Amino acid sequence: MFDRRKPVGKVVALPVEQIEPSPYQARRVFDQEELAGLAASIRENGLLQPVTVRRLGPDRYELIAGERRLRACKLAGMDRVPAILRDYQDDQTAALSLLENIQRADLNPFEQARGLQDVLALWGCTQAEAAKRLGMAQPTLANKLRLLQLTADQQQFILENHLTERHARAVLRLPENRRSEALITISRRRMNARAADRYVEQLLQETDTPAQKPRRLPMVRDVRIFVNTIDHAIRLMTDNGVPATARREEGDGYIEYTVRIPTGPGPGK
């Protein structure tokens, strides 16, 4: 019987409507201007690098690599695209989709982090095992995953203000309720990553330093003598019919006296 199945590993021309997007695509944002430029190039020169797909069923394929190229082909009005047919399992598909974008630097830091999170969930393995399979250091993987601790608004602020992954990691050292304010300050002052690290360190030191309580300094001998002299003078005046008054306040390292002595004649004079 004649086998009409398309050969695995060969480049074949597939109808674009038969290719479904990958559920493991980490990239969320596509630059429309860039896609338009790629579409123009494809109309002029054709698609130079085929997309990669796997078979899902009769006349159904799932994209493994080449989301940007496939979108540009559709924009260019192509009915068929050259594709390499591969026989991959789910875990291989997720990893390949992610690695293609990472290697091409097509993902922003948060898309990378979400892609890595998806791969870990799919593989059901530890960070150390995933890092080994992805060819990256385990601390690097852990640092990227930590970016997802920032809220969606904070992530969007970082992208819109062209801050870097290092800026994001710097503010993650702060308590949750102080991160947004720190990001605004970093952006407003146009701090580079090193300056942002120093700024966050300063904020942490201010947080760690307990508030100083006012200290009651011991009264040195000469000051005590002076205070006693004032008290004695007030008592002497009041004993002799002069309605003098004194108000004493103690602050942090000082004593303040307010003395009121009437200048007019006393009562009955």
Write out pLDDT tens, residues 17-31. Answer: 999 887 766 666 777
The secondary structure of residue 264, as a DSSP letter, is: S
Residue from 103, 38, 115, 48 nearest 74 by CA: 38
Whether residue 3 lies inside any domain: the answer is no
Report the number of distinct structural domains present in the chain: 4
Q: What are the residue ranges of helices labelled H in the chain?
A: 32-45, 67-75, 90-103, 109-123, 127-134, 138-146, 152-160, 165-171, 176-188, 193-208, 221-239
Tell whether 163 and 195 lie within a shared domain. Answer: yes
Tell whether 99 and 123 lie within a shared domain. Answer: no
pTM confidence score: 0.54
**How much is the average pLDDT of 129-152?**
90
Whether residue 112 lies inside any domain: the answer is yes
What pLDDT does residue 18 have?
Answer: 93
Tell whether 178 and 235 lie within a shared domain. Answer: no
- The span from the CA of 229 to the CA of 212, in Å, is 33
67 classed as catalytic = yes
Query: Angle CA(239)–CA(242)–CA(248) in degrees, nearest 5?
Result: 85
Whether residue 78 lies inside any domain: the answer is yes
What pLDDT does residue 7 have?
Answer: 53
- The single residue of 17, 20, 67, 249 carrying the catalytic annotation is 67
pLDDT confidence bin for 145, thresholds 50/70/90: very high
Q: Which residues contact 246 (CB under 8 A, 6 or more apart)?
A: 230, 231, 234, 257, 258, 259, 260
DSSP H/E element including 52: strand 51-57
Whether residue 216 lies inside any domain: the answer is no
Whether residue 5 lies inside any domain: the answer is no
Whether residue 262 lies inside any domain: the answer is no
Whether residue 265 lies inside any domain: the answer is no
CB 64 within 8 A of CB 101: no
User: Which region holds residue 155: left if phi is over 0, alpha if psi is between -120 and 50, else beta?
Assistant: alpha
Whether residue 267 lies inside any domain: the answer is no
Query: Angle CA(45)–CA(46)–CA(51) in degrees, nearest 5?
Result: 140
Tell whether 171 and 229 lie within a shared domain. Answer: no
In terms of average pLDDT, the best of 75-89, 94-108, 119-133, 162-176 is 162-176
Least confident of 18-27, 73-82, 93-102: 93-102
- The span from the CA of 85 to the CA of 98, in Å, is 18
Residue span of the structural domain in which 47 resides: 11-106
In terms of average pLDDT, the best of 28-37, 55-64, 184-193 is 184-193
